[in-house]
Amino acid sequence: MQFNEEKAPNKTGVVRDTRYLDHIPGPGHIESPSRLEAIYRRLDQPDAVSLYTVIPPRPATREELAWNHAPDYVERIARTAGKEFVFLDPDTGTSPGSWTAACLAVGGVFALMDAIMREEIPNGLALVRPPGHHAERDHAMGFCIFNNVALGAHYARRVLGLARVLIVDWDLHHGNGTQNSFYRDPSVLYISTHQYPHYPGSGRIEESGEDEGKGFTINIPLSAGMGDADYSAVFSQIVVPVARAFAPEFILVSAGFDIYAGDPLGGMQVTEKGFAVLARSLLDAARECCRGRIVFCLEGGYSLKGLADGVYAVLGECSGKRRNGSEISFPPPTAAVTRIIDRVREAHQDLWPVLR
């Protein structure tokens, strides 16, 4: 289904809300409100503010959260509301405003999806916290409380009535929670690029789904030190061809900016131009497959400069202002990433002939 750019609105939708700043996971915690403050300051600059319209979030309900999480776990998080600090796991804690922020993070994704389906906006960025892709069915993990993107996929299936959803996860860390949410489900294709070996330890090529979901999880584990050319090659040779073959009706992106060169938690070398290319490739796929329906949801990213520059690069692509020029070229990818691409092709070519 082709995307009609002439009829499309020209401003992307951005979910932002000061209540996301009320989630404070602990003194000195690296996943702090300053992350969003840096992004919001950048989006308030004159060259950015005209590119988007703000979409207000709404809180997800307990019933909606239970699509992906155990009801008793949802209630456990609800009971943290108003409490000074509750320890959830070695990396994750809550403050008095965390329950509200976490519900609004999920509901912010829902609000963007609704606005896109109503054709009020062409696409969207959910600039939310806490992040979500490590959150499992019954426990918090790795700074994440509820799995925002996984719940977005459930929303697409249950509420919007869509048959196929693609989740692309370019965060530095493997999205174990998202993978486990749909490991046996062929209606949701999960593709992850991530530094490996690294936290949380999952994400091997051999982890490819089970039962009817076999082949609908594609893990692309990358060595530390890979940069723009390597990521561009992975997306052009694996991610986008498989996306087109799957023909999703909506694309959700776990957009982690911790692959930025210099991020304190990572070892990758992606630059602002690299983020623009990744976003552009997925936007093009969305226009071709699903009327441009795509939401980029903030996950990790702990360099304030990397967050601000990376989000602005993605916003520029979403809004159609391809600020780095009409074409962006990189030198050839490294031999190391070529070997990884070959291994992924071999592992998945039976189900995905486009990889042969």
Beta bridge partners of 13: 53, 124
CA neighbor of 350 nearest in space, from 214, 202, 234: 214
The letter for the amino acid at 63 is E
| Alpha helix positions (H), the chain | 34-43, 46-49, 62-65, 71-78, 98-117, 148-158, 176-181, 228-234, 240-246, 272-289, 304-318, 335-348
Distance of CA 220 to the CA centre of its chain: 15
Per the listing, tokens 């697409």 go with 156
Q: Provide the annotated active-site residues.
A: 134
Count CA atoms closer than 13 A to 29's CA, side-chain side. Answer: 20
Q: Count the neighbouring beta carbons within 10 Å of the beta carbon of residue 233.
A: 19
Q: Which residues contact 197 (CB under 8 A, 6 or more apart)?
A: 221
| CB burial of residue 146 (10 Å; 0-12, 13-18, 19+) | buried
